């Protein structure tokens, strides 16, 4: 996305039309804070791209703004207990991700603004009826729908409990999972940030995030050495996913593991594995303008044409709501800490 | 890019939520204009080891449509951590300097057919060329002729420049011939070459790895 803006002759901080970044969306119940600079820059960059529909850029902004603000509020808050270096090393060496969901202290009061704001987005784009959005808001406000319980169900990937909850509150199951995922993302990101020191220098050969166990959203080839770093779809933690092999199950067979691209000079491509039917879009930071922090969430929207391309190959997009948080070889990680 | 409703729904069902199935967003995904009408290409990244010295630096070779399109250091290799020396970087040229045709022109220049527009044709020699003393033209010679000629010159040079003694010390050497080993030689080859050179009385024996 940055490269394309540069190709169009625009500077990193401006759109071709010279328009100013969009104003903060009026999310009900949220503090009236200006969107983060990074978000405004990402939205402006998306809008400058001819191939990104305006509705996609608008949706990106509407979905990300509440999460961005929540992330800023949660930064520095201790809602995940400290983890000793020894305990962290023990978990990682045994293949467990650091965050034990049973110990995640979610705050209903912090979840509610996200719930309301994101429900409004779904209603705005026609995914929920206004009546459904209003019912969800009232249920949460009255305490008849526990958002922490919903978040826990989604973290555990318990489809049966989610279905039962959806029937009880009379809201679509898919949207409950969607809403829970986006409510959780700022919390998991903040928890992962508090544990960042425990991840430094760790060798992690698994296909899911070492912090929270979720799948990557995209990957980045970083300067200067071109290491491929996968970025978590939930907490945005980055870990090294060795090049030349499938990031999910290590397939190195060149007949079944390859990448698709349109132009070698473009920073974007998609790595596809025909054995596990997974794919991972990759952005090459070395081919982008220097000095910009790469926002992979926005790059994901800017490269949806790759998702469309590989959808015809019967592949499964990584990440997403209600994915199991367990590593392929491990069972439940409840009660694993001993610090 | 034509997007059917079925494909869109299948995809959007798995998305992390950025796209919804509202009618206003159907069919909205487009390929950048520069790629419209251009089909995607397929490539592979392969981790390998540099073909030059014995350091064993790891590299990542990118290939597409039957040719090497990029060579870079493997960041996961503990030896080089993504770096490559100038020779390692030049592996790209090694892979791509394939001579399609060879023609010795009347002006004595050796014209080679290039296979890649990116590289000048004729930069890699694939046949023996000989320019006689005082001549201005190159001649194509066979390997048999060339090896015979090299052996003859080694013997002649050795005989002319042979030193049995340096003062009172027996040296049995020739200082007129030097030998240089290369990184592509393995240990066994280097052993045999050293035996040959020392046996001929060479003292200027070097190897690229020492330089």
Domain ranges, ordered by start, for chain B: 5-35, 43-96, 157-210
CB count in 10 Å sphere of residue A137: 19
pTM of this prediction? 0.73
Judged by CB atoms closer than 8 Å, whether chains meet at A320 and B30 is answered as no
Quick check: helix, strand or coil at residue A91? helix
pLDDT in tens, chain B (211 residues): 333 444 333 333 334 344 443 334 445 778 898 888 888 999 999 999 998 887 889 999 999 988 889 999 999 999 999 999 998 998 888 777 644 444 555 665 555 544 444 444 455 677 889 999 999 899 999 999 999 999 999 999 999 999 999 999 999 999 999 999 987 788 899 999 999 999 999 999 999 877 6
Q: What is the pLDDT of residue B184?
A: 76
Q: Which residues pair with A232 in a beta bridge?
A: A216
Chain B contact probe: residue of A61, A124, A215, A317 with most B CBs at under 10 A: A317
Whether residue A268 lies within 8 A of chain B, CB to CB, comes out as no
Taking the C-alpha atoms of residue B128 and residue B121, their distance in angstroms, rounded to an integer, is 17
Please name the residues in contact with A213: beta carbons below 8 A apart, sequence gap of 6 or more: A97, A99, A325, A326, A327, A333
Are A2 and A289 in contact by the 8 Å Cβ rule? The answer is yes
Alpha helices in B79-142 (DSSP H): 86-89, 91-96
Q: Which residues of B touch A59 (CB under 8 A)?
A: 18-20, 25
Are B195 and B201 in contact by the 8 Å Cβ rule? The answer is no
Sheet holding B162-166, edge to edge: B162-166, B169-181, B202-207
Q: What is the pLDDT of residue B5?
A: 40
Question: Are β-strands B139-141 and B128-130 bridged in parallel, bridged antiparallel, or unpaired?
Answer: antiparallel
Are A328 and A207 in contact by the 8 Å Cβ rule? The answer is yes
CB count in 10 Å sphere of residue A101: 20
Alpha helices in B90-142 (DSSP H): 91-96
**Orientation of helix A159-169 relative to helix A173-194, angle to 10°:** 120
Both tokens of residue A44? 């402006």
Both tokens of residue B65? 């449509």
Work out the burial of residue A334: count CB atoms within 10 Å of its CB; fewer than 13 is exposed, 13-18 middle, 19 or more buried: exposed
Taking the C-alpha atoms of residue A189 and residue A209, their distance in angstroms, rounded to an integer, is 12
Per-domain boundaries in chain A: 85-197, 208-329
Q: What is the pLDDT of residue A158?
A: 85
Are A305 and B36 in contact by the 8 Å Cβ rule? The answer is no
Q: Which residues of A touch B22 (CB under 8 A)?
A: 125-127
Are A28 and A124 in contact by the 8 Å Cβ rule? The answer is no
CB count in 10 Å sphere of residue A38: 14
Chain B contact probe: residue of A67, A133, A225 with most B CBs at under 10 A: A225
Are A131 and A137 in contact by the 8 Å Cβ rule? The answer is no
Please name the residues in contact with A149: beta carbons below 8 A apart, sequence gap of 6 or more: A165
Residue identified by tokens 């296979």 is B115
Q: Specify the CATH number of the domain B43-96.
A: 3.30.200.210
Judged by CB atoms closer than 8 Å, whether chains meet at B76 and A217 is answered as no
Q: What is the pLDDT of residue A68?
A: 83
Quick check: helix, strand or coil at residue A134? helix
Chain B contact probe: residue of A7, A16, A51 with most B CBs at under 10 A: A51
Are B60 and B72 in contact by the 8 Å Cβ rule? The answer is yes
Gyration radius from chain A CA atoms: 20
In 3D space, the residue among B195, B76, B15, B207 whose CA is nearest the CA of residue A205 turns out to be B76
Q: Which residues pair with B207 in a beta bridge?
A: B181
Q: What are phi and psi of A174, to 5 degrees?
A: -60, -40
Judged by CB atoms closer than 8 Å, whether chains meet at B41 and A308 is answered as no
Q: Which residues of B touch A122 (CB under 8 A)?
A: 20
A329 DSSP assignment: T
Judged by CB atoms closer than 8 Å, whether chains meet at A305 and B40 is answered as no
Q: Which residues of B touch A323 (CB under 8 A)?
A: none
DSSP string, A287-328: GS-TTPPP-HHHHHHHTHHHHHHHHTTT-B-S--TT---S-T
Taking the C-alpha atoms of residue B67 and residue A302, their distance in angstroms, rounded to an integer, is 29
CA dihedral B118, B124, B127, B129 (to 10 degrees): 120
Q: Which CATH superfamily is domain A208-329 in?
A: FdhE-like domain (3.90.1670.10)
Residue identified by tokens 């596990």 is A276
Q: What is the pLDDT of residue A241?
A: 92
Are A241 and A204 in contact by the 8 Å Cβ rule? The answer is no
ipTM of the shown complex:
0.75
pLDDT (tens digit per residue) in B59-97: 999 999 888 899 999 999 999 999 999 989 988 887 776
Taking the C-alpha atoms of residue B110 and residue B104, their distance in angstroms, rounded to an integer, is 5
Taking the C-alpha atoms of residue A27 and residue A18, their distance in angstroms, rounded to an integer, is 26
Q: What is the pLDDT of residue A36?
A: 60
Stretches in chain A below the pLDDT threshold 70? 1-36, 291-293, 320-339
CA dihedral A286, A289, A293, A296 (to 10 degrees): -70
Q: What is the pLDDT of residue A156?
A: 84
Please name the residues in contact with B197: beta carbons below 8 A apart, sequence gap of 6 or more: B179, B205
Window 131-170 of A, Cβ < 8 Å to B: none
Q: What is the pLDDT of residue B209?
A: 76
Number of A/B CB contacts below 8 angstroms equals 146
């Amino acid at each position: 996305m940055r490269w394309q803006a540069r190709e169009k002759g625009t500077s990193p901080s401006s759109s071709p039309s010279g328009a100013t970044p969009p104003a903060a969306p009026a999310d009900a119940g949220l503090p009236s804070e200006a969107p983060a600079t990074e978000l405004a820059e990402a939205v402006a960059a998306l809008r400058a791209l001819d191939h990104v529909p305006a509705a996609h850029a608008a949706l990106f902004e509407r979905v990300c703004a509440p999460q961005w603000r929540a992330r800023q509020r949660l930064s520095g808050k201790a809602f995940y207990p400290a983890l000793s270096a020894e305990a962290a090393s023990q978990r990682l060496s045994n293949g467990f991700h650091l965050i034990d969901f049973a110990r995640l202290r979610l705050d209903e009061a912090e979840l509610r603004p996200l719930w309301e704001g994101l429900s409004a987005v779904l209603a705005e784009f026609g995914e929920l009826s206004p009546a459904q959005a209003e019912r969800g808001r009232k249920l949460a406000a009255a305490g008849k729908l526990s958002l922490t319980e919903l978040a826990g169900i989604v973290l555990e990937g318990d489809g049966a409990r989610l279905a039962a909850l959806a029937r009880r509150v009379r809201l679509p199951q898919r949207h409950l999972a969607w809403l829970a995922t986006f409510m959780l993302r700022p919390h998991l990101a903040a928890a992962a940030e508090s544990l960042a020191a425990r991840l430094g220098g760790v060798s992690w050969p698994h296909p899911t995030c070492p912090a929270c166990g979720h799948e990557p959203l995209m990957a980045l080839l970083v300067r200067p050495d071109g290491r491929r770093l996968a970025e978590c779809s939930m907490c945005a933690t980055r870990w090294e996913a060795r090049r030349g092999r499938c990031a999910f199950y290590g397939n190195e067979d060149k007949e079944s593991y390859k990448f698709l691209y349109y132009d070698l000079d473009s920073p974007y491509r998609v790595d596809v594995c025909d054995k596990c039917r997974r794919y991972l879009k990759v952005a090459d930071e070395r081919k982008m303008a220097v000095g910009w922090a790469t926002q992979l969430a926005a790059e994901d929207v800017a490269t949806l044409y790759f998702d469309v391309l590989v959808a015809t190959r019967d592949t499964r997009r990584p990440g997403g709501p209600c994915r199991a948080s367990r590593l392929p070889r491990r069972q439940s990680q409840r009660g694993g800490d001993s610090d | 890019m034509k997007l059917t409703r079925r494909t869109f729904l299948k995809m959007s069902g798995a998305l992390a939520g950025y796209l919804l199935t509202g009618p206003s967003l159907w069919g909205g995904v487009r390929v950048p204009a520069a790629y419209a009408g251009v089909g995607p290409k397929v490539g592979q990244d392969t981790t390998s080891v540099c073909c030059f010295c014995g350091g064993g630096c790891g590299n990542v070779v990118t290939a597409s449509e039957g040719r090497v399109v990029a060579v870079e250091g493997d960041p996961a290799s503990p030896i080089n951590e993504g770096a490559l020396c100038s020779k390692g970087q030049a592996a790209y040229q090694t892979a791509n300097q394939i001579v399609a045709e060879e023609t010795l022109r009347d002006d004595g220049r050796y014209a080679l057919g290039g296979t890649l527009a990116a590289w000048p044709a004729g930069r890699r020699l694939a046949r023996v060329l000989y320019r006689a003393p005082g001549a201005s033209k190159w001649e194509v010679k066979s390997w048999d002729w060339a090896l015979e000629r090299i052996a003859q010159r080694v013997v002649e040079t050795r005989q002319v420049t042979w030193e049995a003694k340096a003062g009172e010390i027996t040296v049995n050497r020739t200082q007129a011939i030097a030998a240089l080993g290369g990184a592509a030689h393995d240990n066994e080859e280097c052993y045999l070459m050293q035996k040959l050179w020392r046996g001929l009385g060479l003292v200027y024996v070097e190897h690229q790895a020492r330089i």
